[in-house]
Amino acid sequence: MNKIKFAAVLAFVLVFVPLFATRAQNQTPITVFSQVDTIPEVHIDKTGKVSVQGAKVMQKAGTSYYVRLIWSESYIRILVKTAPGAEVVRRFGAIMSPTEINPGDYLNIDGEIESGSDSFIVKASKIRDLSDQKEMDEFSGTVNSFGTSTPGFLLNTQFQGIINVNVGTSTVIIKGSRMINLSSVHIGDKVSKIVGVFNHGNNTINATSMVVYVNMNTFKSRNFQGVLKTSPGNSLPATFIATIEGVDYTVNLQAGSDVWNNKRKTVVLSRFVVGDTIRLYGSIQESDSPIINASIVRNLDL
């Protein structure tokens, strides 16, 4: 670097920055999105290494940024050039593209003064965008309610409170052993894991995947007892409706299913009439509708 030019820049900083810093002590820290407090500060060592905090982007040109360090009515202008291979991250450390930095954002910058320049130009090796509060994160909780303007819902979490969940067309939703659509998610469902880009600024996660908890024991084969609500017909295979514990289940009997009376003797299906008490052995189907696939039906009234 030209020693005279560097000395001029360094002298400017050493003379004016202490004055600005003194003023800053009596100023309220700049707040970004009500979460990011920034205090303008700059350090330059004798080798030309630069550390800048709280630089506000006024304008950008590609991956270069015209920034200011502002103390009340006083400020310093700096041109920040993103060096090849520079590390550019969001507030919480997630990698971002330099092109995602926008006017109005506040930056922390590490780098060095550009050689041969007569103005304050920094070649940045690391930039942290304090205003970009997005990061990959995951949560669990209970579905609280559904949105009206965008596809998604409110999730009640233990540590983050209620967060907004945006569900896109590419969001993968798993429930049990099947993939489902958002329409199959209901208020009160437990979400064991939701992963996506979380924005601390508006408490919103754009979900990439989510797992809705379901007790898989629900789908194991077992006995059911209820009342026949519709006629099963005369032969197998057959489908009918039975009311079991207050829920109307569609019951599927396959060819070869056992049809018994109360003594476990084979009878014809045509003897079953609406209102009979029946006992089934089968499993609830993984679906949004209450369906039982039964291998045995027993009429307790025969």
Query: pLDDT digits over 125-171, tens only?
Result: 999 999 888 888 999 999 998 877 678 999 999 888 999 999 998 99
Q: Same domain, yes or no, for 167 and 224? A: no
Domain that holds residue 123: 3-129
Q: Same domain, yes or no, for 226 and 116? A: no
Q: Same domain, yes or no, for 111 and 141? A: no
The answer to whether residues 283 and 292 touch, using CB atoms and an 8 Å cutoff, is yes
- Other beta carbons less than 10 A from residue 238's beta carbon: 20
Q: Which residues contact 270 (CB under 8 A, 6 or more apart)?
A: 233, 234, 235
Q: Please classify residue 201 by burial: count the beta carbons closer than 10 Å to its beta carbon, then call 0-12 exposed, 13-18 middle and 19+ buried.
A: middle
Q: Same domain, yes or no, for 26 and 79? A: yes
Q: Output the six-digit token pair for 154.
A: 């409110």
Confidence band for 200, pLDDT divided at 50, 70 and 90: confident
- What's the chain's average pLDDT? 85
Specify the CATH number for the domain of residue 264. Answer: 2.40.50.140
Q: Same domain, yes or no, for 17 and 105? A: yes
Specify the CATH number for the domain of residue 101. Answer: 2.40.50.110
Least confident of 11-25, 37-51, 54-68: 11-25
How far apart are the two ends of the chain, measured CA to CA in Å?
102
Separation of alpha carbons 294 and 283, rounded Å: 7
The answer to whether residues 195 and 138 touch, using CB atoms and an 8 Å cutoff, is yes
For 84-102, write each residue's pLDDT tens digit.
999 999 988 889 999 999 9
Mean pLDDT of 47-57: 93
3-state secondary structure at position 253: strand
Separation of alpha carbons 265 and 268, rounded Å: 10
3-state secondary structure at position 3: helix
Q: Same domain, yes or no, for 190 and 264? A: no
Distance of CA 170 to the CA centre of its chain: 13
Separation of alpha carbons 263 and 249, rounded Å: 24
Q: Same domain, yes or no, for 142 and 252? A: no
Q: Same domain, yes or no, for 190 and 148? A: yes
Q: How many domains does the chain have?
A: 3
Please identify, among 159, 179, 214, the residue that sits at the C-terminal boundary of a domain. Answer: 214
Residue 33 pLDDT greater than 70, yes or no: no
Separation of alpha carbons 56 and 196, rounded Å: 28
Beta-bridge partners for 191: 141, 212
Q: Same domain, yes or no, for 114 and 179? A: no
Separation of alpha carbons 141 and 212, rounded Å: 10
- Other beta carbons less than 10 A from residue 260's beta carbon: 17
Q: Same domain, yes or no, for 144 and 125? A: no
Distance of CA 237 to the CA centre of its chain: 45
Please give the single-letter amino acid code of residue 241: I
Q: Same domain, yes or no, for 195 and 248? A: no
